[in-house]
Chain A
Amino acid sequence: MRFWRRFACAVLLIVVGLSLAANWLAPAGYAKQYRDDPGSPPSHQHWLGTDDIGRDRFARVLYGTRISLLLAPAAALISTLMAALIGGLAGYLGGPWSRAAMAVTDLFLSLPWLFLLITVRAVMPLNVSPMISVLVTFLMLGLLGWTSAARVLCSSANALRGSDFVRQARASGIGSARLFWIHVLPNLKPVLYAQFWISIPVFILSEANLGILGLGVAEPLPSWGSLLKELEGMVSVGEEPWKFVPLILLVVVVTSFQFVLSKQDELAA
Chain B
Amino acid sequence: MSMLGRLVRHGLVLIATVLLGGLLSAVLVRLAPGFDVDESQLDPHLNSQSLQAIRQTRADQRNIFRYYFHSLQRAAHGDFGTSLSLNQPVGTLLRERTPLTLRLVAMGLLLSWAAALALSMSAAWIRVTAYDVLATAVSGVFLCMPAAVLALLSVLWNVPGALAVALIVFPRVYRFSRNLMAKAQAMPHIVTARCKGVSELRILLWHVLPIAGPQLLAVAGVSVSIAVGAAIPVEALCGLAGVGQLAWQAALARDLPLLMNITILVTFVTLLANSGADIIGHALRGNEA
The CA-CA distance from A195 to B103 in the complex, in Å, is 35
B88-128 near A? 1/0 per residue, CB < 8 Å: 00000000000000000000000000000000000000000
Does B141 interact with chain A (Cβ within 8 Å)? yes
Residues of chain A with a CB closer than 8 A to B226's CB: 112
Is A115 an interface position by the 8 A CB rule?
yes
Identify the stretch in A59-67, A153-161, A246-254 within 8 Å (CB) of chain B at 4 or more residues: A246-254
Determine if B32 and A234 form an interchain contact, defined as CB atoms under 8 angstroms apart: no
Query: Using Cβ atoms and an 8 Å threshold, which residues of chain A touch B271?
Result: 110
**Chain B residues with Cβ under 8 A from A228's Cβ?**
146, 148-149, 152
Asked if residues A255 and B140 are in contact (CB atoms below 8 Å), the reply is: yes
Give Cα distance in the complex from A228 to B153, angstroms: 11
Compute how far the CA of A247 lies from the CA of B152 in the bound complex, rounded to whole angstroms.
12
| Contact among A123, A247, A255 with B32 in the assembled complex (CB-CB below 8 Å) | A123
A220 at the interface (CB under 8 A from B): no
Contacting A at CB under 8 A, from B234-263, are 236-237, 247-248, 250-252, 254, 256, 259, 263
* A119 lies within 8 A of B248 (CB): no
Contact call A214/B252, Cβ cutoff below 8 A: yes
**What residues on A are CB-neighbors of B145 within 8 Å?**
205, 247, 250-251
Q: How many residues belonging to B are interface residues under a CB distance threshold of 8 Å?
A: 47
Binary contact readout A169-206 vs B (1 if CB under 8 angstroms, 0 otherwise): 00000000000000000000000000000000100010
Kindly provide the distance from the CB of B22 to the nearest chain A CB, expressed in whole angstroms: 11
Within 8 A of A (CB), among B24-46: 24-25, 28-29, 31-34
Q: Distance in Å from the Cβ of A129 to the closest Cβ of chain B?
A: 15
B53 interfacial by beta-carbon distance below 8 Å: no
Contact between A212 and B149, CB atoms less than 8 A apart: yes
Chain B contact residues, majority secondary structure: helix
Distance between A215 CB and nearest chain B CB, rounded to angstroms: 6
A114 to B153, CA, bound (A): 19
Query: C-beta contact mask, B1-38 vs A, less than 8 Å → 1, else 0?
Result: 00000000000000001001100110011011110000
Please indicate the chain B residues that have their CB under 8 angstroms from the CB of A125 in the complex: 33-34
CA distance A201 to B143 in the complex (A): 10
In the complex, whether B266 has a CB less than 8 A from a CB of chain A is yes
CB closest residue in chain A, given B34: A125
Question: Chain A residues near B33 (CB, 8 Å)?
Answer: 124-125
In this assembly, does B267 line the interface, its C-beta being within 8 Å of a C-beta of chain A?
yes
B268 nearest CB neighbor, chain A only: A110
Closest to B21 in A: A107
Q: Are B237 and A212 in contact (CB under 8 A)?
A: yes
> Do B32 and A115 touch across chains, with their CB atoms under 8 A apart?
no
Cβ-based interface call for B289 (8 A): no
Partner of B232 from the list A107, A118, A124 (CB cut-off 8 Å) is A118
Q: How far is the CB of B242 from chain A (nearest CB, A)?
A: 13
Question: How many chain A residues touch the partner (CB < 8 A)?
Answer: 40
Indicate with 1 or 0, residue by residue over B142-161, a CB within 8 angstroms of chain A CB atoms: 01111111001100110000
Bound Cα distance A209, B153 (Å)? 13
B17: chain A residues at CB < 8 Å are 106-107, 110
User: Is A205 a contact partner of B146 (Cβ separation < 8 A)?
Assistant: yes
Determine which of A110, A114, A119, A234 lies in contact with B270 in the assembled complex, contact meaning CB atoms within 8 Å.
Answer: A110
Q: How far is the CB of B84 from chain A (nearest CB, A)?
A: 12
Whether B34 lies near A237 (C-beta < 8 A) is no
Interfacial chain A residues near B228, Cβ < 8 Å:
112, 115
Asked if B81 lies at the interface with its beta carbon under 8 angstroms from chain A, I say: no
Closest A residue to B16 by beta carbon equals A103
| Interface: A269 (CB within 8 A) | no
With both chains docked as a complex, state the minimum distance between the C-beta of B59 and any C-beta of chain A, in angstroms.
21
Whether the pair B156, A111 counts as a contact (CB closer than 8 A) is no
Nearest-CB residue, chain A, relative to B222: A109
Q: Most chain-A CB neighbours within 10 Å: which of B148, B153, B230?
A: B148
Interface centre among B32, B149, B274 (most CB of A within 10 A): B149
| Chain B positions within 8 Å of A251 at CB level | 141, 144-145
B111 to chain A, nearest CB (A): 18
Q: Determine the distance from Cα of A212 to Cα of B151 in the docked complex, in whole angstroms.
A: 10
- In the complex, A31 has a CB within 8 A of chain B: no
CB of B225 within 8 A of chain A?
yes
* Chain A, range 66-82, C-beta contacts under 8 Å to B: none
Distance A111 CA – B247 CA, assembled complex (angstroms) = 13
Contacts of A126 in B (CB 8 A): 252, 254
- Known A-B contacts: A232-B152, A255-B140. Give 16 more (CB < 8 A): A107-B24, A111-B225, A111-B270, A114-B147, A114-B232, A120-B28, A122-B250, A123-B31, A205-B144, A209-B147, A209-B148, A228-B146, A228-B149, A231-B152, A231-B153, A231-B156
Going nearest first, the 10 A-B pairs with the smallest beta carbon separation are A112-B229, A122-B251, A212-B148, A254-B144, A208-B146, A123-B32, A118-B251, A114-B229, A209-B148, A123-B28
